[in-house]
Amino acid sequence: MKLLRQGILIAIEGVDGSGKSTLARNLYLKFISQNIPTLLTKEPGATSLGKRLRSLLHKKPVALCPKTEYLLFAADRAQHSTEVVMPALQKNKIVISDRMGDSSIIYQGYAQGLDIKMIEIINNWTMNGKFPDLVFYVRLSAAQAIKRIKLRNKKLTSFEKEGKPFTQTLVDGFDWLFKNRSNVICLDGRNSPEIITEQAFNNFSAWINKYHE
Ligand code: TMP
């Protein structure tokens, strides 16, 4: 693989239970094993403020209207971009983020009816104008994602508690959003973590050889 002369931002997206966090971790380990400077991060919860916001958003001890919910994700995103993402990109690292702004477009916009154009504007502002160079979309059906979440035997987050119709809306939303995007690589979440990681790495290598001199 060519030496990086600029940072590259990769976002991993998908519904809860799709295997996206496993891919983020495995891809990170793969890059590190090849001595490629890489940072693994996530939204929400990568900064000190983000950890507090993540806990609030996962547990919802008080009711949040969709706009407030989105603005808390946006606050996490602004802090994440400024404190973590931009500095690492300036050091020419690969930054792998487990979720980014597209999750808000789907969870708060498509699924909860917030104005998607408004979310795009605020996302852009919070991300300091830097969108992912590449997105890996781990696609899994709602039924399979819910089955996996139940097998995890972990306390469910407020989003995981929503059930199948909500998850189906999220799958439809991601399919709709990514259909016409040229920088999105869709990976079949039914495959094993090893196969998905290999596919992501091979796609990344092909992409970088094509687009980065
Ligand atoms: P996770 O880190 O375990 O994926 O949990 C984060 C949850 O928050 C997940 O259910 C997706 C949701 N989420 C949103 O609703 N909007 C967002 O912008 C982001 C980043 C996550």
Return the residue matching tokens 């209207």. 65
Q: Label residues 113-141 b or e (16+ Cβ within 10 Å = b).
A: ebebeebbebbeebbeeeebbbbbbbbbe
**Calpha distance 33→139 (Å, rounded):** 26
Q: Label residues 27-36 b or e (16+ Cβ within 10 Å = b).
A: bbebbeeeeb
71-121 pLDDT, tens digit each = 999 999 999 999 999 999 999 999 999 999 999 999 999 999 999 999 999
Whole-structure pTM value: 0.96
Boundaries of every domain in the chain: 8-211
Which residue, among 173, 80, 175, has the nearest Cα to 130 in the 3D structure?
80
pLDDT of residue 90: 97
Low-confidence spans in the chain with pLDDT less than 70: 1-3, 213
Rounded to whole angstroms, what are the CA distances from 36 to 8, 33, 80, 142, 194? 11, 8, 22, 35, 19
**CATH architecture of the domain formed by 8-211:** 3-Layer(aba) Sandwich (3.40)
> Using a 6 Å CB cutoff, which residues line ligand 1?
16, 42-44, 73, 99, 103-104, 107-108, 157, 159
pLDDT of residue 160: 83
For a substitution probing ligand 1, which of 13, 76, 107 has the most ligand atoms within 8 Å of its CB?
Answer: 107
pLDDT of residue 202: 97
Cα of 54 from ligand 1 centre, angstroms = 8
